[in-house]
Amino acid sequence: MQNTTRPAREVFGTNLVAMPTPMNPDGSLDVKGIDAVAKHLVATGCDGIVVAGTTGEAPTLDHDELLALTAHVRTAVGHAARIVVGVGTNHTAKSIAMARDVAGVGADALLIVTPYYSKPSQAGIVAHCTAIADATDLPVMLYDIPGRTGMPLTRETIVDLARHPRVLAVKDAKGDLFEAMSVMAETGIAYYCGIDELNLPYLAAGASGLVSVVGAVAADHHRALIGAVDAGDLGTARMINDTVRPLTIALMKSAPGVVTAKAALREVGVTAYAAVRAPLLEATDAEVAMVREALISAGRPVRDRLLAV
């Protein structure tokens, strides 16, 4: 059964970034930093911002912080970008309450991650996601990331959920490209690549766009990458991908993406701090040096300062 609602690109955007949540050294929300990062993302070519996803340190945000974060981003970017808010937890009632509340402070869409830790059955996952999708009128992007949740969305589960009129997309961090192509062909549900290392192959296979961590400092490159693939110019797409590759290695292979993304945003002067909340640890000097080198190689201007390594 094919979903016939609005095209996903219209609903979610195409060049999405998983926004790190700026924090002060004491762990409180950095409101000035939130404003700066949101505006930076739009200025560099992002047309969708994912708030309170994995990179946004969602498990450490309380309910009031989630609402404040969503409202601050909405105010910062106006309607220049779609705002997709992560409301998925392993507690269905909590997720429903979050969904209803973020709908009231500016969210354009919801991101629902597979329930983690509890390891429900696939039928339980369908019931969970359906209940959240039924709670508001907002469109939904499913988030399949079994490496963090311990539970993949099976092909059958995605096909089942795609019948829901508001479940329009999947952020795929599972990496089964053949399954993604098959589900897209069968259902019409849109896929967004959630693995920066695989952005090009997913786009070439028909993904509607990206939800990227590296895009925090490379949204302009990703906009060009998407444009090249849309135009059928895979030669140019490969060259753009090669340009971004050092940043992808530095941000995705050396430490958790949120840690390196925050370091990168500080190094390019968007934020004052790279603080994260425990149990994460801020980037080490060696990790910052790797990020800084990759930024320079990608033509990103960095702060002129001595770096202790």
What's the mean pLDDT in 155-167? 97
What's the mean pLDDT in 9-29? 97
Give the pair of three-digit tokens for residue 110: 């919801």
Per-residue pLDDT tens over the stretch 98-108: 999 999 999 99
CB 77, CB 50: distance < 8 Å: no
What's the mean pLDDT in 261-274? 98
DSSP percent split of the chain into helix, strand, coil, nearest 5: 50, 15, 40
pLDDT band at 39 (very low <50, low <70, confident <90, very high): very high
Domain boundaries, the chain: 8-242
Strand partners for 83: 49
- For residue 140, pLDDT over 80 is answered with yes
- For residue 17, pLDDT over 70 is answered with yes
Using DSSP's 3-state secondary structure scheme, residue 298 falls into coil
Residue 305: predicted pLDDT: 60
pLDDT band at 93 (very low <50, low <70, confident <90, very high): very high
Using DSSP's 3-state secondary structure scheme, residue 71 falls into helix
Residue 306: predicted pLDDT: 46
- For residue 4, pLDDT over 80 is answered with no
Number of H helices, E strands in the chain: 13, 8
Per-residue pLDDT tens over the stretch 172-185: 999 999 999 999 99
Per-residue pLDDT tens over the stretch 270-292: 999 999 999 999 999 999 999 99
pTM of the model: 0.95
CB 213, CB 41: distance < 8 Å: no
Residue 235: predicted pLDDT: 98
* CATH superfamily to which 8-242 belongs: Aldolase class I (3.20.20.70)
Residues tagged active-site: 143, 171
pLDDT band at 309 (very low <50, low <70, confident <90, very high): very low
**Which amino acid type is present at position 137?**
D
Phi-psi region of 273 (alpha: psi -120 to 50; beta: other; left: phi over 0): beta
Q: Which is nearest to 228 in space by CA: 214, 213, 217, 244?
A: 244
